Structure 1
Amino acid sequence: MAELSLPDLDPISDRAVFRQIADHLRDAIERGKLHQGDKVPSETQLMQHYGVARMTIRNALQVLQSEGLTVAEHGRGVFVRSHPPVRRLASDRFARRHREQGKAAFIAETEGAGGKPSVDSIKITEENASPDVAERLKLTTEDCVIVRSRRYLINGRPVEIATSYIPAEIARGTQIAQPDSGPGGIYRRLEEMGFQLDHYMEEIRSRMPLRDEARALKLAPGVPVFHLIRTAYTTEGRAVEVCDTVMSSDAYVLSYELPAR
């Protein structure tokens, strides 16, 4: 334990020993004694320092993993989880200038944060609108929508999965229904077709991920997600897209500029 100084256990504390150890390691992470990507002392080192059984150490490490602070790598050890946040600026990310420069919102915000954006797992289908999507797009459940699902990555790490729903009468047979929607993304294609975008409405809540979401985003145990639903409106007030997005909460900082008048 020469590299990292940890306190001793408090013999008169009523807090369980494994939780005391987890507290010490958490404090080292929060105080910057252990940085992102650093290796946590091994089970053997911690056993020797605290004089406890291996299972006690494993229980302490499991607490940190469940909190999303560490990640275990098979054969290598336990490491402080990296959190490369992208600051998501709600007042800027959908600015028309980005589309005119040929950049969709995700590309613009990721490159602005110094990251390398990529997209995979793209799937395009046409199906009947669900009741919720139909209500948001002012359609009926008999109407069809083009469904675009994809996964977004930053520097090769999955951070977001998104599914867009666009009325089929608008998108059928256009580049929006192709895997590559072209420079500027689907919003640029919509405006080229005469659907001038005016504003977006977003609803955001935090929750624990579903099993498939955790797998797709490669989330550590205990890491919640942001669940965001966005509706895009034209200058005439027509809703032309609904986007259902699940974001890894430790990859984003949500930043909003709100007028005071």
Structure 2
Amino acid sequence: MVALPSGLLGSLDPTSDRAVFRQIADHLREAIDKGRFAEGAKLPSESELVDHFGVSRMTVRNALSMLQSEGLVSSEHGKGVFVRPRPPVRRLASDRFARRHREQGKSAFTMEAEAAGSRPEVDNLEVKEERPSADVSARLGAPRRVLARRRRYLLDGRPVEFATSYLPLDLARDTPIAQPNPGPGGIYARLEELGHKLDHFEEEIRARMPSPQEIKTLRLASGVPVIHLVRTAYDTKGRAVEVCDTVMAADAYVLSYQLPAT
């Protein structure tokens, strides 16, 4: 058996009351966090870990299973266990909806993807008229019907979020907003062209575990939570012109905000 490089992983503490498999998981997690195992790197085999820590194979498997449940690693049958890549996208809350991006014909997602050096895609697009939920209706001022725009966003082929925009039907019907591709700058550019100059946005954010359908849509690994964001856009007259309900893979985003101190 080939010994693991010195310093790559620590040793067990026989005086600790922490379960042995959890100690092994702690050492592996620390090695991943400190970059000893880079994204996409293969972890030591079960046999190497058994030899290094002097434990049973089942104990090692429990440790690896724990890391899998946290979304840190993934197992490939017959190949081994690998560190999951986690490409971050930085969402600039004070900048991402700036008018200058729309004037350049860029949506917020396109701008974010370019900043991250990634290739953006949009699929699973659906545009249809429907009756809003009670929550969406309340946020939009109680319209009876809305235009719903559903889409999934991908970076370099990986799904990272899906979103549904709800707009009052009297604003969106028979306009480019009702088309699958609303044009450069997205629906916010079209709203402003229709006379609804945007004034501000309100966002509510929470983290939670995903539903089975969200796991399937975003291809989430076991243990990966989601960020659930609901944004309401207001025009300069104070009217709510859009509600956007977004679910994001939490391991693909960094939320960055600038907040005034006065």
TM range (shorter): over 0.9
Q: Give the alignment of 1:81-96 within 5 angstroms.
A: 81-96=84-99
Q: Give the alignment of 1:39-78 within 5 angstroms.
A: 39-78=42-81
Query: Aligned partner of 2:84: which letter?
Result: R
Q: CA separation in 2, counterparts of 1:109 and 1:189?
A: 20
Query: Aligned partner of 1:10: which letter?
Result: D
Q: CA deviation at 1:54?
A: 2.3
Who is 1:232 aligned against? Answer: 233
Quick check: 2:148–2:164 contact (8 Å CA) kept in 1?
yes
Q: Does 1:24 align with 2:34?
A: no
Q: CA separation in 1, counterparts of 2:229 and 2:27?
A: 35
Quick check: 2:92–2:256 contact (8 Å CA) kept in 1?
yes
Q: Deviations over 1:61-117 (max 9, x none)?
A: 011111121122233221112121111100110011111111111101111221111
SS at match of 1:118: strand
Q: Give the alignment of 1:100-119 within 5 angstroms.
A: 100-119=103-122
Q: CA deviation at 1:219?
A: 1.3
Gaps of 5+ in 1: none
Q: CA separation in 1, counterparts of 2:249 and 2:64?
A: 22
Who is 1:160 aligned against? Answer: 161
Q: CA separation in 1, counterparts of 2:151 and 2:235?
A: 24
Q: How many percent of aligned residue pairs carry the same amino acid? A: 64
Who is 1:222 aligned against? Answer: 223
Query: Aligned partner of 1:27: which letter?
Result: E
Query: Aligned partner of 1:253: which letter?
Result: V
In the superposition, the TM-score normalised over structure 1's length comes to 0.94
SS at match of 2:189: helix
Q: CA separation in 1, counterparts of 2:41 and 2:233?
A: 42
Q: CA deviation at 1:3?
A: 4.3
Gaps of 5+ in 2: none
Who is 1:136 aligned against? Answer: 139
SS at match of 1:111: helix
Q: Deviations over 1:121-163 (max 9, x none)?
A: 11112111111111000024xx111111111111111111101
Q: CA separation in 1, counterparts of 2:81 and 2:31?
A: 14
Question: Which segment is superposed worse, 55-64 or 10-19?
Answer: 10-19
Query: Aligned partner of 1:2: which letter?
Result: L
Query: Aligned partner of 1:215: which letter?
Result: K
Runs of 4+ in 1 over 4 A off after TM superposition: none
Who is 2:124 aligned against? Answer: 121
Question: Which segment is superposed worse, 177-186 or 41-50?
Answer: 41-50
Q: CA separation in 2, counterparts of 1:104 and 1:148?
A: 15
Q: Does 1:147 align with 2:148?
A: yes
Quick check: 2:4–2:48 contact (8 Å CA) kept in 1?
no
Query: Aligned partner of 1:11: which letter?
Result: P
Quick check: 2:68–2:74 contact (8 Å CA) kept in 1?
yes
SS at match of 1:59: helix
Q: CA separation in 2, counterparts of 1:72 and 1:194?
A: 53
Who is 1:241 aligned against? Answer: 242
Quick check: 2:4–2:52 contact (8 Å CA) kept in 1?
no
